[in-house]
């Protein structure tokens, strides 16, 4: 009975967790604000990808188009090129 209680408490805590918003960094499309041009031809919910070099590697970002045609940064992955032998 105790294990069922702890399991349900743990599931409740996990369900209440939220992921923090990803903040733009220099090189991001939305760094310094939204772009001036609106994405009028792309449907709402479309995914836009962006990649750029950083001091430590390459950043890969994923955006979604919001109903007001703004971009929302939802994911960033930075791959280090320190050990790249190319």
pLDDT for 54 beyond 70: yes
Q: Is 69 exposed, middle or buried (0-12, 13-18, 19+ CB in 10 A)?
A: middle
Report the pLDDT value the prediction gives residue 79, as an integer from 0 to 100: 93
Give the pLDDT confidence of 70-85 residue by residue, as tens digits. Answer: 999 999 999 987 665 5
Higher-confidence residue: 74 or 2?
74
Task: Encode pLDDT of 5-33 as tens digits.
Answer: 767 777 666 655 556 788 999 999 999 99
What the block records as the tokens of 82 is: 């320190």
Global pTM reads 0.70
């Amino acid at each position: 009975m105790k294990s069922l209680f702890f399991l349900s408490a743990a599931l409740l805590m996990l369900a209440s967790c939220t992921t923090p918003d990803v903040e733009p960094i220099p090189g991001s499309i939305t760094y310094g604000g939204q772009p001036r041009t609106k994405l009028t031809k792309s449907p709402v919910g479309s995914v836009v990808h962006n990649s750029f070099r950083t001091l430590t590697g390459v950043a890969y970002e994923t955006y979604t188009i919001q109903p007001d045609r703004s971009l929302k940064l939802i994911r960033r992955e930075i791959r280090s090129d320190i050990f790249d032998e190319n």
